[in-house]
A and B are shown apart, each in its own frame.
Chain A
Amino acid sequence: MNTLLKTLLLSLTLALSANAADHIIDQKGKTFVPSSITVKVGDTITFKNSDAFAHNAYTDDEANEFDTGMQSSSTNKTVTVKEAGTFSIECAIHPNMLLEVTAE
């Protein structure tokens, strides 16, 4: 019975993961491209860095708080959206960079 329950839970998790989308955000010319996105809880956001210098995406939104840390040129960083709501993501180095996220 225990094994059956574990199998069901694993199947459910895999099914949810399979439905999760990955949203690509480029950091290019000191802007997030695109500058706004709508995502679902469980989706991931991958930050590319096409600039020749470092960026550092973060949000202080309580439900979805993250900080990618310094991200060098030509690298990717991925975060997972945890809860529904609207929040802003900024670059810790370049605060003029702003990404508006709506999580459903």
Chain B
Amino acid sequence: MIKILLATLLLGVALQANEDASKWLRPAEVPQPKNNKMTPERIELGKLLYFDTRLSANDTISCATCHHPLSGWTDLNPAPKAVGFEGRVGPRNSPVVLNTAYQNRQFWDGRARTLEQQALGPIEADVEMNMPLTTLIPKLNKIKGYQKLFKKAYPKSKGIITKEYLAKAIASFERTVVSTIAPFDKYIMGDSNAMSKKAQAGFELFRGKALCSTCHDGFNFSDGSFHNIGLNDGELKGKELGRYNVKARAAWYGVFKTPTLRDIVKSAPYMHDGSVKSLTEATHICGNGGRFIHNVKNKSTFIMDNELSRSEISKITTFLHALEGPNMKLHIPTKFPQ
């Protein structure tokens, strides 16, 4: 507690007087729902399920295939859009699982509120794991090793696996996928040498002229907001309509969730459609008015031409590199319950 107070005090000196310095600090706890508190048994079970390819229709794809720890918790395949069951290409770039515990909307279009609601979607999606739950649940119930683990993790289940317990277990593991200490965190805790002068200048631009922190705000560098950043012009169709597909609300036309910037250097390509290859390009788009300036329906008012120079964009991307922490310690399972 004293450390946090001290860090906030030091930070307060470094930042502008009117900025709430504590917002950049890691929350004391990872949020978790009352009806699915994290326990070692639930986390371990969830991890096994997350990496188990038997959850797909042809035993070749797991959650980790498209959200892998070795590629920043996104696709191992660097293709713009997710490649799933039998090479089928999905409609969107695989979102990172990192820090999803801190979000109150899941998926690019926010169609799920919780990780429990999100967890089962990709399993059933025909372009992802293509495994109907009506097939998967009986399949898992035939694996005695899983029955035992579910009984230990969720005693009320009595070892009978249901889709609800399956979702809870996977979500429990996903809540452990949180960012590690990056140079920025050391800087924000008072170590002024933890970031280069260029990165510090980038941070000033990030929360100043470039207006990045209007949306990429707080510890997770996302305020969870939804925006149309002008990647496409004209009338939008199909999945490009974004959250408008969840409900045809005017404000949701072509909008997608603001992603975290933690470990962003590890998860190229960027944006919901994977159409942006570099952080330089991403910063240019967001900071200088969008890929398309005109004829963009419902473009976010936050996306404006801030006339960022090449030098300024370079400083911001240098700062973004300072948000990269070491990979979290994780034993990737190679043996699974039988």
The number of chain B residues touching the other chain, given as a range, is 10 to 19
- A residues neighboring B (CB under 8 Å): 30, 53-54, 56, 58, 60, 67, 69-70, 92-96
Partner of A53, one of B105, B250, B251, B302: B302
B214 at the interface (CB under 8 A from A): yes
Closest A-B pairs by Cβ, 6 of them: A92-B251, A56-B251, A94-B225, A96-B224, A95-B105, A93-B225
Q: Hey, which bits of chain B sit against chain A, CB under 8 A?
A: 104-105, 110, 214, 217, 223-227, 247, 249-252, 255, 301-302
Partner of A54, one of B104, B105, B255, B301: B301
Closest partner residue, chain B, to A73 (CB atom): B301
Between A and B, 21 residue pairs with Cβ closer than 8 Å are A30-B223, A53-B214, A53-B301, A58-B249, A58-B251, A69-B250, A69-B251, A70-B251, A92-B226, A92-B249, A93-B225, A93-B227, A93-B255, A94-B224, A94-B225, A95-B104, A95-B225, A95-B226, A96-B104, A96-B224, A96-B225
Q: Secondary structure of the B side of the interface?
A: loop
Q: Which residues of chain B are within 8 angstroms of A93 by Cβ–Cβ distance?
A: 225-227, 251, 255
In the complex, chain A residues whose CB is within 8 Å of the CB of B302: 53
Q: How many A-B residue pairs have CB under 8 A?
A: 39
* Assembly CA distance A30 to B20 (angstroms): 13
B289 to chain A, nearest CB (A): 16
Output the least CB separation between B220 and chain A (Å): 11
User: Which one of A54, A58, A96 lies within 8 Å of B223 (CB-CB)?
Assistant: A96
Instruction: Provide the residues of chain A in CB contact with B225, threshold 8 Å.
Output: 93-96
Instruction: Give the shortest distance, in Å, between A43 (CB) and chain B (any CB).
Output: 25
Known: A92-B249, A95-B104. 16 other contacts (CB 8 A): A30-B223, A53-B301, A54-B301, A56-B251, A60-B247, A67-B249, A69-B251, A92-B251, A93-B225, A94-B225, A95-B110, A95-B224, A95-B226, A96-B223, A96-B224, A96-B225
Q: Which of B223, B252, B301 is within 8 Å of A92, CB to CB?
A: B252
Which residue on B lies nearest to A92, using beta carbons?
B251
